[in-house]
Amino acid sequence: MSEPLLHLTERSLWDAARASGTFEISTRGRTLEEEGFIHCSLRRQLPAVAAMVYGSYTGPDDLVVLVIDPERLTAPVRFEAMSPGGEEFPHIYGPIETTAVVTVEPWDPQGTGG
């Protein structure tokens, strides 16, 4: 497996995806359809992404990290920067099949996700 892609999400959203077979949430409060892709990160990028996206999160759900095997995806993955010359993050341009998620880790904001 190449380096896994990570996606931080609410447990209830992951549970719903398991029931349907695909995960289609791009980022907190936005769907794949609205955004055009699903935001992901690499392990080293996750703490900063979590702080930015979920830093103020006080929802009822636990947060979980989806660990995705990019080789199991049918949608293309592109590494893109938010600004020219900036750090590149993986974006998945389609739904994530639940079979591409190899493990689900509880999010520990004091640690690195696992």
pTM of the model: 0.91
pLDDT at 41: 97
Distance CA 82, CA 109 (A): 24
Backbone angles phi, psi at 11, to 5 degrees: -55, -40
pLDDT at 112: 46
- Ordered by where they begin, the domains of the chain are 5-106 (3.20.170.20)
pLDDT at 89: 97
pLDDT at 58: 81
Give, for 5, the enclosing helix (H) or strand (E): strand 5-10
pLDDT at 1: 62
Per-block mean pLDDT, blocks of 10 residues, the chain (114 long): 92 96 96 97 95 85 94 97 94 98 89 48
